[in-house]
């Protein structure tokens, strides 16, 4: 009898079982033993090869997932005006529980019966729904502060997790030891999953308060340029609506953007304050379509759409990043940047009495406005839409859009309170399929197709002959400056290699997405920032239309709380490092290069960065970054 034992070798969560005889040289004697040894070796080689291939496909990050909860230390969140805010949550009344998927009823034919989130501009015409929606928020706002389901505590969930009130944890579970590194769910791959589960429980709490398990949040369909009311601020959230809606109203909204104004995804509050943002509704429509095309359609990799990795030890609030030590800066995805514009446009802007631009214009206050949840309902919907968009980006044309599959992404965990006041531990892997969570969205694919298949204006003739040698190259790891005026740089390009495919989940270089990357941009925590980027169009400026072939996308940064509690708010304009965060920004350029007729990887390009996010009251200083480079995803 063969009594050969086995041992386990762990490799990023995978277990490879290798015979002890191979580890210790016990190969036995005779033909049978030699044959068995060859079989063991062959089996081990195949297994190792499989594991290594699997790791490459799963985009493995050599670290550990972020673990977080609302228990433990919780610091106040400072603001520009007034005392720091208390955003901490109440302690759970009973032991925490692990997430389980909800029971989903089915029809006699076996089809799942899902809650349906419908467009706000349609639902506001339904008096019964508006009354029910208003009642749900009225009851939520009437709950005591000690109840985690109260509207005040629902706001605190976002205020705390999104403004570094908590710390990451070293081990799973809500009471694991803290790392000392602040927690931030924006600027990374956690943005979409965290907000999905936040809405999931918020919606279930509202439904339970009106005893209607079919209740679903509406979604503000602001990307819709087909239906005339879709991109306007939904009327059911505004005064003088005609149906009781007091619980849906928030006084801290920009009344200058009430209907008939259309949400403008190219919005620049400084130009607006100067009276220089004078676009027709048709121009706004075209620019909105082009922004959505560049922020969603052209972002085919998970990293470009969802955001960069966020693993334990990553400090997305930090003003310095030690890359050699494995630290990574924050990296927003395309969806997060475009979502920020709706926040900025809705909140109070350029109001000296409200320097924090509350409510929607600042992560600290945003969730105090009920419109926040219908805005994020559309953001969540667009995540589902993104996965269905065909590949019109890469050379292969066959790449499928997929979420990250690494353990670091899937096992990231957070805590939320459910409709029964239980604290629930949720992992990112629980959030990836909305149908398993029991809801769906009304099909608005006709309007989605308008931006999915959008064709910008033909390229400028000057773009096809732009001479990159006339512009400076960025200084690697040096001082590169983005001022109030547009700045242009020469970018050296090269062809992708098989090495670029590693860890990207692609089979060959033709499936890769080419990016232009601004590395380690230094941005003040309390400032709104916006960078529009153009390829081979150095004439671009703050007034340049975005429906051009040369426009490749937008990055936006929404203000959030300061990190260092030792400084008073009167020092908020100082240059001390604790007032800044470091971010890396990606712009996808495959489609634009093709439109410009640039098919040779040896052709260098000119990258023009237009800074147009400074608010009217902001200082006139610019931003610095460490490098501009080409990258493949």
pLDDT tens sequence across 268-291:
888 888 888 889 999 999 999 999
pLDDT of residue 550: 97
- Choose among 454, 242, 237, 455: nearest CA to 359: 237
Q: Which residue has the tokens 């983005």?
A: 482
Q: What is the pLDDT of residue 24?
A: 39
Q: How far apart are CA 121 and CA 131, in angstroms?
A: 15
Average confidence (pLDDT) over 464-470: 92
Among 57-61, 169-173, 590-594, 626-630, whose mean pLDDT is lowest?
57-61
Domain extent listing, the chain: 67-318+333-565+577-632
Confidence of residue 622 (pLDDT cuts 50, 70, 90): confident
Which CATH topology does 67-318+333-565+577-632 take?
di-copper center containing domain from catechol oxidase (1.10.1280)
Integer Cα distance of 312 and 327 in angstroms: 10
pLDDT confidence bin for 567, thresholds 50/70/90? very low
Confirm if 187 and 331 have CB atoms less than 8 A apart.
yes
C-alpha span between 527 and 612 (Å, rounded)? 12
| CB contact set of 396 (below 8 Å; sequence gap of 6+) | 508, 510, 511
- Residue 346 corresponds to which tokens in the numbers above? 């809705």
Q: Which two tokens stand for residue 261?
A: 């104004």
Q: Percent of the chain having pLDDT more than 90?
A: 68
CA nearest to 159, candidates 71, 74, 233:
74
Q: What is the mean pLDDT of the chain?
A: 86
pTM of the complete model: 0.87
Cα(249)–Cα(239) distance, rounded to whole angstroms?
Answer: 7
Greater confidence (572 vs 329) lies with 329
Per-residue model confidence as pLDDT tens digits over 525-565? 878 889 999 999 999 999 999 999 999 999 999 877 544 43
Q: Over the stretch 379-421, which tens digit does the pLDDT of each residue have? A: 999 999 999 999 999 999 999 999 999 999 999 999 999 999 9
pLDDT of residue 528: 83
229 pLDDT exceeds 90?
yes
């Amino acid at each position: 009898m063969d009594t050969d034992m086995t041992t386990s070798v762990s490799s990023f969560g995978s277990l490879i079982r290798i015979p002890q005889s191979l580890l210790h040289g016990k190969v036995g004697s005779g033909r049978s033993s030699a044959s068995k040894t060859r079989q063991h070796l062959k089996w081990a080689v195949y297994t190792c090869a499989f594991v290594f291939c699997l790791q490459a496909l799963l985009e493995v990050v050599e670290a550990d997932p972020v673990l977080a909860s609302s228990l433990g230390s919780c610091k106040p969140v400072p603001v520009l005006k007034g005392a720091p805010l208390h955003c901490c949550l109440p302690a759970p009344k009973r032991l925490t529980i692990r997430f389980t998927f909800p029971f989903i009823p089915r029809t006699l034919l076996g089809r799942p019966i899902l809650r349906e989130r419908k467009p706000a501009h349609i639902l506001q015409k339904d008096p019964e729904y508006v009354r029910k929606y208003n009642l749900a928020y009225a009851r939520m706002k009437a709950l005591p502060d000690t109840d985690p389901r109260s509207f005040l505590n629902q706001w605190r969930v976002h205020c705390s997790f999104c403004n570094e009130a908590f710390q990451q944890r070293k081990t799973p579970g809500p009471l694991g030891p803290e790392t000392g590194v602040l927690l931030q769910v924006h600027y990374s791959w956690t943005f979409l999953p965290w907000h999905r589960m936040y809405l999931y429980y918020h919606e279930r709490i509202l439904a339970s308060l009106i005893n209607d398990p079919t209740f679903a949040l509406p979604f503000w369909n602001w990307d819709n340029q087909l239906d005339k009311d879709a991109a306007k601020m939904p009327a059911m959230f505004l005064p003088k609506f005609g149906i009781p809606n007091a619980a849906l109203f928030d006084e801290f909204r920009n009344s200058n953007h009430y209907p008939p104004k259309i949400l403008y995804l190219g919005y620049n509050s400084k130009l607006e304050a100067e009276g220089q943002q004078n676009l027709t509704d048709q121009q706004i429509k075209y620019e909105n379509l082009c922004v959505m095309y560049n922020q969603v359609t052209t972002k085919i990799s998970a990293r470009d759409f969802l955001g960069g990795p966020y693993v334990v030890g990553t400090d997305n609030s930090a003003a310095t990043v030690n890359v050699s030590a494995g630290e990574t800066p924050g990296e927003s995805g395309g969806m997060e940047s475009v979502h920020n514009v709706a926040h900025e446009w809705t909140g109070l802007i350029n109001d000296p009495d409200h320097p924090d631009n509350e409510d929607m214009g600042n992560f600290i206050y945003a969730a105090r406005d009920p419109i926040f949840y219908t805005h994020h309902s559309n953001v969540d919907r667009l995540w589902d839409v993104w996965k269905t968009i065909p590949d019109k980006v890469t050379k292969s044309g066959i790449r499928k859009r997929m979420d990250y599959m690494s353990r670091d992404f899937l096992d990231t965990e957070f805590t939320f309170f459910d409709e029964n006041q239980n604290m629930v531990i949720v992992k990112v892997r629980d959030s990836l399929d909305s149908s398993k969570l029991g809801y769906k969205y009304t099909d608005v694919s006709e309007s989605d197709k308008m931006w999915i298949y959008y064709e910008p204006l033909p390229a400028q003739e000057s773009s096809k002959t732009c001479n990159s040698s006339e512009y400076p190259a960025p200084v690697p790891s040096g001082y590169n400056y983005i001022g109030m005026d547009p700045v242009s740089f020469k970018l050296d390009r090269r062809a992708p290699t098989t090495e670029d495919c590693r860890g990207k989940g692609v089979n060959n270089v033709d499936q890769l997405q080419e990016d232009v990357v601004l590395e380690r941009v230094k941005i003040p925590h309390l400032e709104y920032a916006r960078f529009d980027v153009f390829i081979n169009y150095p004439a671009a400026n703050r007034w340049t239309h975005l429906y051009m072939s040369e426009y490749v996308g937008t990055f936006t940064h929404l203000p959030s709380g300061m990190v260092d509690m030792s400084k008073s708010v009167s020092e908020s304009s100082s240059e001390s490092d604790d007032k800044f965060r470091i971010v890396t920004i990606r712009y996808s350029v495959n489609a634009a290069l093709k439109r410009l007729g640039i098919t040779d990887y040896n052709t260098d390009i000119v990258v023009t960065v237009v800074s147009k996010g400074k608010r009217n009251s902001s200082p006139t200083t610019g931003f610095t970054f460490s490098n501009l480079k080409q990258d493949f995803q």
